[in-house]
Amino acid sequence: MHSLSAIVLAGGKSSRMGEDKALLPVQGVPLLKRVCDVASSLCNLVYIITPTPEKYQHLSLNNCQFVREVPLSQENLSTPTSTKVTLPLPHGPLVGFAQGLAVVQTDWVLLLACDLPKLQIEVLQNWVEELENVPEDAIAALPCHDKGWDPLCGFYPRSCFPVLNAFITQGGRSFQSWLAQHPVHILSLPSTEMLFNCNTPEDLALVDDTR
């Protein structure tokens, strides 16, 4: 059995929602707490990657550890006299994930967005068992839907860090572009319902009948 921890991303702009969606309650429980509770039922340790841990410290989160995301420093490879540049936050989920993966100690990590109110523990549990069958060269094991991979509800081996880091250093910021360059194992998805994410107030109203 592989060792497993989780990474939950909570560092975006929430521009479509108009306020920090991580803190919005669904049936009385803030979205970030709902996702972290699911993750901690599957893993002993959950890392929450965010530039602002102080915003979430009041939530009662079990088995969770904050990793403060920092602005990205890198050499600008496009100039002959390589110049040091600092890229401001937020730099997107791929870089947030890489900063989290850098501290992970387990063989595999479950990566989740903070805005998934319909996660199903039984499906995730089946996927954990499926990790035993993932080929060694795969950089991820993910569900797939009609728009491509769902990178923010699936699994990555810690060993993918060097190729991820190289992709980011070369300026890559898109999960889909990175995944397209490497083998990815498909996880079977009984229903796309559990991938529903809350991006807008209308999405939120669909999952919270107290509104």
Ligand X SMILES: Nc1nc2c(ncn2[C@@H]2O[C@H](COP(=O)(O)OP(=O)(O)OP(=O)(O)O)[C@@H](O)[C@H]2O)c(=O)[nH]1
Under the binding rule (CB under 6 A), the answer on residue 30 touching ligand X is no
Q: Does 154 bind ligand X (CB under 6 A)?
A: no
**11 annotated ligand binder:** yes
Comparing every residue's Cβ against ligand X, the nearest one is 12
Instruction: Count Cβ neighbours within 10 Å for each residue of 65-95 and write b for 16 or more, e otherwise.
Output: ebbebeebeeeeeeeeeeeeeeeebbbbbbb
User: Nearest-CA neighbor of 195 among 139, 138, 149, 140?
Assistant: 149
Distance from C-alpha of 51 to C-alpha of 54, rounded to nearest angstrom: 9
Q: Which stretch binds ligand X (CB under 6 A): 36-44, 112-120, 161-169, 187-195?
A: 112-120
Q: Is 91 in the site for ligand X (CB under 6 A)?
A: yes
Can you tell me which of 2, 13, 68, 211 binds ligand X, judged by CB under 6 A?
Answer: 13
Q: Report the residue number, 25 or 90, with the smaller CB distance to ligand X.
A: 90
Please classify residue 9 by burial: count the beta carbons closer than 10 Å to its beta carbon, then call 0-12 exposed, 13-18 middle and 19+ buried: buried
Stretch that binds ligand X, among 86-94, 133-141, 161-169, 182-190 (CB under 6 A): 86-94
Rule CB under 6 A: is residue 93 a binding residue for ligand X? yes
Indicate the residue among 45 and 134 with the shorter CB distance to ligand X: 45
Q: Which stretch binds ligand X (CB under 6 A): 80-88, 92-100, 179-187, 202-210?
A: 92-100
Shortest distance, CB of residue 18 to ligand X, whole angstroms? 9
According to CB under 6 A, which one of 4, 5, 6, 12 is a site residue for ligand X? Answer: 12
Q: How far is CA 211 from CA 31, 104, 191, in A?
A: 15, 38, 26
| Residue ranges that bind ligand X, judged by CB under 6 A | 9-17, 49-50, 69, 90-93, 96, 113-115, 152, 199
